[in-house]
């Protein structure tokens, strides 16, 4: 016994000493990072726009609605992961370049861009607007992805490496199903839903798409492709049929000469030759350095001092999963309601553009945000601008706006809800775990995850889901000023493109965030005399240092070390953390 106590005490002491040493080392590490960070802040690089500048539109990595300043700690975890770029920063940089005489053109390098079609359409629209200035746009890549080529095709000259490749293959949805994997773990997903097309739960319960889901995915994929195909055809002086024919020839495996003869590109150049061509456009010496500005550089380029006035339009951003909570990550209901209330009470703000990019989430949280939007709408115009997706819960929080604007390729609708609650009875059996119970009432053990629901519990849960769906349907019908039975025809969890949604009355106008701002200004009778401010405020780099976002750090660390297993880990995490009732778009569609 003495030996055991001795070993136990020694282990405890060792644990305490190890924690003290670890904390000490961590403090040295943190203060060292802070010292170098603050030092870099004290001597900032002041970017000065030079004559004959080219906007270097290097799109490397994911494009999100807004990108906060890089958290200093994330680069310490991994410097290989590309940082997100904000759509708002990219659009702002292109507009500044259009209106600044020192900028002569744009050089597009979109080989590694990661973005959905609606985001790409927003950037492409700005590039087309830029061309109205008479300035040049050129594009170069060793290899073009389909997304990158969609942006590059708007350029005056599209160049590719003579040994390069260009991907143009159309669109495909390749969802992943986990039914058999969950069965091996002994997990049974107990599903309660309303809506024939509400297919989120299929990934847990089936090994292939249902007939209804295949129908809706085929519909919105073909509609999305029709817009992409039309834009490419117009830019490259081809017909939509030509684009289909080329996609069916799989250009990615064809020689570069094929790309040239098919008019997909204008010239074959190595990057050094492309830089020489760029110098010719600028009329500078062949060995001269090309003055360039990145999207990040353009943030510090001012046009004119913009101050908040009595005629202010607020852009309120809401992107990510809709959840219950008071934090600023994703769309947490208490935080978002607080932001909406601040805008409602601010007398200088005359209209609000509610920018939504969300696949949905908690039905309860969606209802709270819907209520706040209703109160805001009672006092000033509210115009929704939909990003890549504003579906299910994302449509729930949008439906009561005065006007809804979406890109033709936005995914929206998905009016339906479901509940997916796991039972770990099989897991417990596999592990040799058993339970017993003593209870005072019929449902005292309701929610016990080591047994499946009984029939009475299933009936009650299904009734709750049906009430939630009826409320969702009512909100949408009233918000869109449509009879409820008519709205029901477009519900059932069906996903629509923005173009399809406009035809059936779920959306008012097609366009981007600029279109939404114009409508908001008109509704508020502001004419051309207004300023635009974005909300909520993004954290500065110093804020990021003092308040590092735990979720971001953890996510990037796990992703770095789990690799391909990361998605499986996130699946189990989602199963664990979901609210009972979800208003969420179908599972990850994996569109390629």
Catalytic residues: 198, 392
Measured from the Cβ of residue 199, the count of other Cβ atoms closer than 10 Å reads 29
In whole angstroms, give the CA distance from residue 457 to residue 440: 17
Buried b (16+ CB within 10 A) or exposed e, 361-380: bbbbbbbbbbbbbbebbeeb
Bridge partners (DSSP) listed for residue 313: 351, 532
Buried b (16+ CB within 10 A) or exposed e, 443-478: eeeeeeeeebbeeeeeeebeeebeebbeebbebbbe
In whole angstroms, give the CA distance from residue 113 to residue 131: 21
> Which H or E element spans position 566?
helix 566-577
What does the block give as tokens for 592?
A: 């390629």
Bridge partners (DSSP) listed for residue 166: 144
Instruction: Specify the 3-state DSSP secondary structure of 153.
Output: coil
In whole angstroms, give the CA distance from residue 505 to residue 489: 12
Q: Which residues contact 375 (CB under 8 A, 6 or more apart)?
A: 340, 341, 344
Give the CA-trace dihedral at 534, 537, 538, 544, to 10 degrees.
170
What does the block give as tokens for 288?
A: 């001269």
| Residue whose tokens read 């959840």 | 323
Closest CA to 321 of 273, 392, 261: 392
Closest CA to 228 of 406, 458, 408, 353: 408
Residue 350, CA distances (Å) to 10, 385, 521, 532 in order = 68, 17, 8, 11
Instruction: Specify the 3-state DSSP secondary structure of 61.
Output: strand
Question: Which stretches of 339-443 are assigned E, i.e. beta strand?
Answer: 349-358, 360-362, 382-391, 403-406, 411-413, 417-423
Residue 565, CA distances (Å) to 98, 208, 427, 552, 558 in order = 44, 21, 20, 18, 10
Closest CA to 544 of 76, 79, 87: 76
Is-contact 351 523, C-beta < 8 A?
A: yes
Phi, psi values for residue 511, rounded to 5°: 155, -175
Instruction: Specify the 3-state DSSP secondary structure of 324.
Output: coil
């Amino acid at each position: 016994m003495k030996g055991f106590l001795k070993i136990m005490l020694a282990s405890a002491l060792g644990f305490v000493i190890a924690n003290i040493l670890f904390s000490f080392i961590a403090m040295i590490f943190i203060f060292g990072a802070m010292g170098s960070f603050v030092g870099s802040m004290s001597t900032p690089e002041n970017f000065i726009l030079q004559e004959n500048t080219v906007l270097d539109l290097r799109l490397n990595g994911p494009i999100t609605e807004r990108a906060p300043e890089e958290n200093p700690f994330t680069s310490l975890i991994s410097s290989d992961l590309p940082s997100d770029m904000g759509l708002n920063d990219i659009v702002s940089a292109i507009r500044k370049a259009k209106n600044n005489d020192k900028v002569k053109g744009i050089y597009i390098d979109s080989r590694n861009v990661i973005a959905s079609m609606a985001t790409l359409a927003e950037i492409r629209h700005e590039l087309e607007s830029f061309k109205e200035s008479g300035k040049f746009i050129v594009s170069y890549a060793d290899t073009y992805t389909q997304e990158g080529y969609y942006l590059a095709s708007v350029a005056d000259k599209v160049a590719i490496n003579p040994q390069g490749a260009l991907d143009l293959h159309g669109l495909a949805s390749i969802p992943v199903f986990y039914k058999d994997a969950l069965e091996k773990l002994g997990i049974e997903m107990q599903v309660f839903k309303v809506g024939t097309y509400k297919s989120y739960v299929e990934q847990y319960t089936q090994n292939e798409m249902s007939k209804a889901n295949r129908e809706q995915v085929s519909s919105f994929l073909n509609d999305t492709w029709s817009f992409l195909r039309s834009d490419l055809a117009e830019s490259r002086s081809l017909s939509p049929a030509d684009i289909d024919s080329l996609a069916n020839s799989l250009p990615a495996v064809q020689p570069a000469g094929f790309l040239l003869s098919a008019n997909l590109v204008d010239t074959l150049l190595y990057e050094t030759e492309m830089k020489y061509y760029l110098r010719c456009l600028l009329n500078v010496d062949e060995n001269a350095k090309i003055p360039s500005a990145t999207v990040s550089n353009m943030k510090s380029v001012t046009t004119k001092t913009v101050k908040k006035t009595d005629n202010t339009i607020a852009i309120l951003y809401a992107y990510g999963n809709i959840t219950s909570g008071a934090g600023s990550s994703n769309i947490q209901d208490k935080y978002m309601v607080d932001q909406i209330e601040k805008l409602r009470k601010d007398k200088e703000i005359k209209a609000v553009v509610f920018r939504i990019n969300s696949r949905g989430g908690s039905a309860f949280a969606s209802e709270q945000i819907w209520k706040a939007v209703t109160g805001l709408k009672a006092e000033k115009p509210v115009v929704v601008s939909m990003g890549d997706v504003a579906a299910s819960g994302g449509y729930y929080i949008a439906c009561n706006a005065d006007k809804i604007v979406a890109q033709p390729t936005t995914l929206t609708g998905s009016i339906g809800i479901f509940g997916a609650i796991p039972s770990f009875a099989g897991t417990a059996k596999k592990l040799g775990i058993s339970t017993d119970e003593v209870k005072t009432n019929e449902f005292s053990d309701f929610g016990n995850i080591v047994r499946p629901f009984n029939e009475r519990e299933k009936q009650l849960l299904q009734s709750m889901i049906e009430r939630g769906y009826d409320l969702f349907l009512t909100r949408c019908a009233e918000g869109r000023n449509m009879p409820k039975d008519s709205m029901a025809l477009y519900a059932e969890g069906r996903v629509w493109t923005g173009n399809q949604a406009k035809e059936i009355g779920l959306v008012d106008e097609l366009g981007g965030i600029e279109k939404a701002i114009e409508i908001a200004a008109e509704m508020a009778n502001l004419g051309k005399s207004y300023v635009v401010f974005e909300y909520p405020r993004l954290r500065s780099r110093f804020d990021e240092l003092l308040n590092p976002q735990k979720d971001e750090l953890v996510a990037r660390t796990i992703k770095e070390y789990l690799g391909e297993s990361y998605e499986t880990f996130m699946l189990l995490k989602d199963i664990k953390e979901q609210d009972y009732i979800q208003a969420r778009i179908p599972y990850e569609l994996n569109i390629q």
